Structure 1
Amino acid sequence: MNAADKPYDENARLKALFEYDVLDTQAEKIFDDLTELASEICETPISLISLVDPDRQWFKSKVGLDAESTDRDIAFCSHAILQDDIFEIQDALKDERFFDNPLVTSAPNIRFYAGTPLRTPSGYKIGTLCVISDHPKKLSDRQKKSLKLLGREVIAQLEIRMSNIKLEVANQYKTEFLSNVSHEIRTPLNAIIGFSELLLENKELKQAFSEQYDFIEKIDFSGKRLLTIINSVLDLSKIEAGKMELEQVNCNLLDYINNIFMSLSGKAKEKNINFSKVEHNDIPKIIIIDVSKLGQILTNLIGNAIKFTDPDKSVRLELCIIDNMLNIVIVDEGVGIELEDLSLLFDKYSRVGKSKTNFEGTGLGLYITKGLVTLMGGTINLKSKPNVGTEFHVQLPFKLPNDEELIKLEAKNVDISMYNRLTLLVVEDNIVNQMVISAMLKSLGIKTSVVGSGEEALDNLKSNEYEIILMDINLPGIDGLETSRMIKSINPNQYIFALTADVYRSTREKKLFNNFLTKPILLEDLKMALSEAIVEFKW
């Protein structure tokens, strides 16, 4: 038996092999399909994708063989990677290099072997796609050509696989970066929006200092506008990284739609646009759907319709149920979209129509909207005519709630006077955030204690009890996650809200926390979270 020499470029060849990060990985269908096809075309019982590392040949895919690998010294493929063309042994017993090879004298009793080198784009031969039989054989020209083509496809799939791995790593780095940026930006925004909302609640301030009150309104508007832009960028990242999840909740659909409609009516009125809605009688009162994403879809599409419709024109929202799907139709008499621009409408890198020159916002709204619709299992289509208008059709699946789920809707009817039954512990290290949250809770008549660390929280709980704990996740010393775990180990029924400026957190620690409040905390979101807790625990 003659062992094969090492290739002259062995070190570079191994480096190319290791870059694919494929050795000792699980079977993958695309590679199994290629080996099966090679076996069928070449009419052999065995076919392998063999990768030659420093000590062995390892089989990424195999047909007709149970072994995972063999020693490199006895591998036929070690000889094949020294060739530029197909390496063919028609009868191994008659070849002095192989007649006494263990793979010939015992299982799998190789008599015929043909292997095409797997050549990387840089020219390194990292292994073979080979076919094997226990009978002497010779490949036809057609079979040799097919084997070469399949070998090139193996390399193409390895390249795709490597690109996907690199993309996953890049997305992970991007997610981590945006997670950190989210925290750093949202923390100061929490103070800006929180304090401005509280000041705007003060009617005496409006009467005594009307000009300054107008300034505060503009600060509040600008802060929320900045928050919208940040959310758009983060939503884009979450969709592309596959990190966004559905959060199905009970929704009084007609009430919710009416709230969206009323919130956007002001913009329509400012432009003297006739904004109307039509709700068909078949709409159920309560459905289960991701309310947040539904609201974002409606706000984006209706907001665009109003934005690109001229005064004295119309925008109409229509809802009905077709084939157990929620059908949303938004029709405007706006500027419309040119035919050549329709294919670019949902492209994050393109602006169409008037939006080519109107740079208000991020320009990501429709791209994100389509991503949200797809995530929810729905479809979105449109038709448009320049100077006539645009019509969007959205279909979204939904479920109907059972009796237990309907109980949660009671939270929307909780009177603010019920909040004074609660005692809360706020665990927050940022002084400004402490002031914002304390002021919000005080405005609701809730008794509140504030500590700045997990250690202080644990010490406080030795002598005090609270219905709810608001726990910042990013704390110095013992962080909010570990502090919450320690609290739950002592009192499993303790109700804990997570406070975080990191929007990615809410998709991770769902089992640990009863609810999440994402900074900047809006007063309405805080009230709703408290109401849900009151209903759930019947305080």
Structure 2
Amino acid sequence: MKSAPLHWKESERVKKLLEYEVLDTEAEKSFDDLTELASEICGTPISLISLVDPDRQWFKSKVGLGANETNRDIAFCSHAILQDEVFEVEDTSKDERFFDNPLVTENPDIRFYAGMPLKSPEGLPIGTLCVIDRIPKKLDAHQKKALEILGREVINQLELRVKTKRLEQANQFKTEFLSNMSHEIRTPLNAIIGFSELLLSDADTLLKDKQARSYIENIDFSGKHLLSMVNAVLELSKIEAGKMTLEPQHFDVCDTVDNVLNMLNVKAQEQGINISHSYSSDSNFEVYLDPGKLSQIIINLVNNSIKFSNSGTTITLNLEIQSNQAIINIIDEGVGISEQDLPNIFDKYHQVGNKKAHGTGLGLSITLGLLELMNGEISVSSEVGKGTHIRLEIPLPVVKKQVQKKPTQSEKHLPPGKSILVVEDNNINQVLVKAMLENLGCIVSLADNGLQGVQLCKDNTFDLVLMDINLPDINGFEATEQIKTNKPNQTVVALTADVFVDDKDSLFALKLTKPITFSGLSEAITQVLS
């Protein structure tokens, strides 16, 4: 028996094999299909994907063989990886390299072997796709060609694994970066928008000077505009990262659309644009969807129509509820979209139309992502100078409605004197949240970090804990876990600037995302404490 010498680029070869991270992994159908096909085409009872590491050959996939690996010194594949083409041994009993090999003289009694080297794109052989028989044999030209093609497909599958992993890592790095940026940008915005809102809520007392009031209104508007830009980027990133989830519920879709159009009508009227709408249904208008996502879709589309329409034109929205889907048609008389631009309207990197138009240009990309999340479809037709027609088709799942207890009048308002702990490391945000809560009649305690919050919860009783997530010592998840270890029934609401926070263990009764508004904070606290 003659053992094969090491490959002349052994260290590079082994390094490449390890990069694929495939050794000692579970069986995979994509590889098993290739070995089975090789066995069928070559007419052999045994077929293997054999990977040769420094000490052994390990079988990623196998047909007709029970062993998972063998010593490298006796491996036929150790010889095959030294070749450029299919390495074939027609009769092992007559070959001086193999006639006394244990794999020949003992189980599995190899008499025929043919192995196609599995070469990486750099030309480094990491193993073989081989076929084996217990009787002498010779492959014809067709079988050899098929073995070569299948061998290349094995490498393609391994390369695909590498590319997929790199893409996953890149997406993870992107998510982490955006998560950090979300926190860093939204935290100061929380203070800008929150304090502006507090001042404007009592402007007659706090802002008697009209010019000062105008300045604050401008700050409030600019802060909210910047927030909308940040939100657009983060919403799209959440969709791409698969972190966007639906929160469906039963609701009257007409009421929701009415509210959205009433809001948008203010902007439309300022530009001299009319918005008309009509509703029709074959049953009723109650649907089971995510009202927030549906509202966002309509806002994005109608806002676009307003943006690209001229004074004196009309935007028409028609809603039709069928037994199994909602159909929404939005028709405007705007500038329209050219034929060459139409295929690019959902591309987040390609802003069509007037490049000077305000916004990120991400509205349609976000709309498409939300529709796909809802299993919906969108079609767009347009003519330059005449307008655009957008048609949405959203399937309506049939879900039995649960009877919910209606809140009594006393439950609709937060009773004064509620004791609330705010765990927040940012001093400005502490001042803001404290001011908002005290305006609601709450008794407020502050903690600068997670450990301090845990200790205060041990020593005191709170109706509610508002917990920041990014804290300087332990994070909000760890702090909440420790609090609930001591007081399992403690109500904790997450208060974070990171939109990517995922409460997998359901530690929080609710998640509030900064910037917070006075009304939003009031509604949230009333909801969890009623």
Interval containing the TM-score (normalised by the shorter chain): over 0.9
Percent identity, aligned pairs only, is: 52
Partner of 1:275: helix, strand, or coil? strand
Write the deviation string for residues 456-488 of structure 1: whole angstroms up to 9, x where unpaired. 333333453222211112223343222211221
Q: How far apart are 1:207 and its partner, in Å?
A: 7.5
* Deviation by residue 1:66-124 (Cα, 9 ceiling, x = unmatched): 32221111111111111111101112122221122222222222111111111111111
- Distance verdict in 2 for CA 1:29–1:481, change over 3 Å: same
- For 1:384, the equivalent position in structure 2 comes to 382
* C-alpha distance after superposition, 1:355-382 (max 9, x if no partner): xx22522212211211121122222222
Correspondence for 1:370 among 363, 368, 371: 368
Aligned twin of 2:479? 483
Give the letter aligned to residue 473 of structure 2: G
Residues in 2 aligned to 1:162 and 1:348: alpha-carbon distance in whole angstroms: 26
Query: 521-530 or 54-63: which moved more?
Result: 521-530
CA shift digits 1:35-73 (9 cap, x unpaired): 222112111122111111111111222222232221111
Q: What are the superposed Cα offsets for residues 198-251 of structure 1, whole Å, 9 maximum, x if unpaired?
A: 122114158722222222222111111111111222222222222323333454
Q: Take 1:307 and 1:206, find their aligned partners in 2: how far apart are those partners?
A: 35
Residue 260 of structure 2 is aligned to residue 265 of structure 1? no
Could you tell me which runs of 5 or more consecutive residues in structure 1 were left unpaired when the two chains were aligned. Answer: none
Q: Pairwise mapping of residues 446-485 of structure 1 onto structure 2 (< 5 A)? A: 446-485=442-481
Computed over aligned residues only, the root mean square deviation of the Cα atoms, in angstroms, reads 2.2
* Counterparts in 2 of 1:459 and 1:150: CA distance versus 1, 3 Å: closer
Gaps of 5+ in 2: none
Residues 283, 320 of structure 1: 8 Å contact kept: no
Larger deviation, residues 207-216 vs 345-354: 207-216
Secondary structure of 2:346's partner?
coil
In structure 1, distance between residues paired with 2:308 and 2:411: 40
- Given that 1:345 and 1:351 are in contact with CA atoms closer than 8 Å, whether structure 2 keeps it comes out as yes
Match of 2:522 in 1: 527
**Matched AA of 2:466:** L
Of residues 185-194 and 22-31 in structure 1, the stretch that sits farther from structure 2 once superposed is: 22-31
Tell whether the 8 Å contact from 1:414 to 1:531 is kept in structure 2 after alignment.
no
Contact 1:286–1:401 (8 Å) recurs in 2: no
Please tell me whether the aligned partners of residues 377 and 393 of structure 2 are also in contact (alpha carbons under 8 angstroms). Answer: yes
Q: How does 1:92-491 map to 2 (within 5 A)?
A: 92-205=92-205, 208-282=208-282, 284=284, 286-354=286-354, 357-399=355-397, 404=402, 406-407=404-405, 410=407, 417-420=413-416, 422-491=418-487
Equivalent position amino acid for 2:450 in 1: G
Shift of 1:174: 1.3
After TM superposition, give the deviation of residue 428 of structure 1 in Å: 1.5
The answer to whether structure 1 residue 517 and structure 2 residue 512 are counterparts is: yes
* 1:326–1:419 Cα change, 3 Å: farther
Asked if structure 1 preserves the Cα contact closer than 8 Å seen for 2:413 and 2:526, the reply is: no
Which residue matches 2:79? 79
Q: Distance in 2 between matches of 1:406 and 1:336?
A: 46
Deviation of residue 333 (structure 1)? 1.2
- In the superposition, relative to structure 1, how do residues 441 and 96 fare at CA in structure 2: closer, same or farther (>3 Å)? same
SS in 2 for 1:326: strand
* Distance of 1:205 and 1:280 partners within structure 2: 48
The separation in 2 between residues aligned to 1:30 and 1:141, in whole angstroms, is 25
Q: Could you tell me how far 1:309 is from its partner in structure 2?
A: 1.2
Cα shift at 1:183: 0.7
Equivalent residues, number: 530
- How far apart, CA to CA, are the structure 1 residues paired with 2:269 and 2:455? 55
Q: Is the Cα contact below 8 Å between 2:250 and 2:401 reproduced in 1?
A: no
Give the distance between the partners of 1:381 and 1:439, measured in 2 at CA. Answer: 48
CA 107–497 in structure 1, closer or farther in 2 if over 3 Å, else same: same
Q: Give the C-alpha shift of residue 193 in structure 1.
A: 0.7
User: C-alpha separation between the residues in 1 aligned to 2:407 and 2:302?
Assistant: 29
Distance change (3 Å), C-alpha of 1:19 and 1:177: same
**With structure 2 as the length reference, what TM-score do the two structures score?**
0.94
Distance of aligned partners of 1:436 and 1:255 in 2 relative to their CA distance in 1, 3 Å threshold: farther
Instruction: Report the CA distance shift for 1:342/1:29 in structure 2 as closer, same or farther (over 3 A).
Output: farther
Where do residues 17-96 of structure 1 align in structure 2 (5 Å cutoff)? 17-96=17-96
How far apart are residue 399 of structure 1 and its match?
Answer: 4.5
Deviating more after overlay: 42-51 vs 252-261: 252-261
Counterparts of 2:283 and 2:15 in 1: how far apart (Å)? 62
